[in-house]
Amino acid sequence: YSHCAIGTAMCLGFALPDNFCFPYAAEGFSDFWRRWHISLSTWLRDYLYIPLGGSRDGTWRTYRNLMVTMMLGGLWHGAAWTFIIWGALHGLLLIIERAVRLSRLAAWDLWSQISGRLIIRIVTLVVICFTWVPFRAKTWEQTVGHWRAMVGWSTNEGALGIGREAIATAWLTFLLLIAGHWMLRDHTLEALWSRSPQWLQVAVMSSMIIALCILPGEDRAFIYFQF
């Protein structure tokens, strides 16, 4: 939706900022929120976190401000406990990350090495995937059921409502998505497009036009469509 809006605005002569910047290549949870739904995270920072005091009034008040901001951010998505839990989880993750950065662990040489950065990316990605469950689940029971299936505590395929072939397809799509995010982490689509050869640009545009004509798809509006 964001790219559609940005592209439409460009056709009318307006330049809108990017709203997502390869968030699944984030190194840490604060980096994730600098890349995910940038317009919302910026609004939460400027109009909630900073007015509450930000990080100016000591460690514990900073943790409180982080938790309150993220819980209200969850409530913004909908009046349901699952959204509040999702916000609270992200608040807790930001608090843990900040506490680690203030501890002796932050001075460990491993984090400046390629292996250390890879570990941080993987941990961030896995935890973020777990937090998406309450965001999309309708009830707390459904959330717990999905979490149990994700860690292998439930062997029933019906726990997720999909079969093995669908799971394999989902894994392939997921891995391709993550590979793309990791490779493009420090780039922009505009810069990549400008450096691409003309034949590749023609091939991409032609494929997109053909896909629009022969693959109309289904009406599966994402949750942000309601906003």
Q: Supply the DSSP string of 81-114, one letter for each residue.
A: HHHHHHHHHHHHHHHHHHHHHHSGGGG-GGGGSH
Percent composition of the chain: helix, strand, coil (DSSP 3-state, to 5): 75, 0, 25
CB–CB of 190/7 below 8 Å? no
Told to judge if 3 belongs to the known catalytic residues of this protein, a careful annotator would answer no
Q: What is the predicted pLDDT for the residue at 227?
A: 56
CB–CB of 116/110 below 8 Å? yes
| pTM, to two decimals | 0.83
What whole-number distance in Å separates Cα of residue 92 and Cα of residue 64?
10
Neighbours of 114 (CB within 10 A): 7
Q: What is the predicted pLDDT for the residue at 22?
A: 92
Marked catalytic residue, from 3, 77, 90, 187: 77
Q: What is the predicted pLDDT for the residue at 62?
A: 94
CB–CB of 21/38 below 8 Å? yes
Tokens 């406990």 correspond to 81
Positions of the chain with pLDDT lower than 50, given as ranges: none
Q: What is the predicted pLDDT for the residue at 190?
A: 81
The CB-side HSE value for 113 (13 A sphere, CA atoms) comes to 7
Would you state the structure tokens that stand for residue 160, as one six-digit string?
Answer: 């997720």
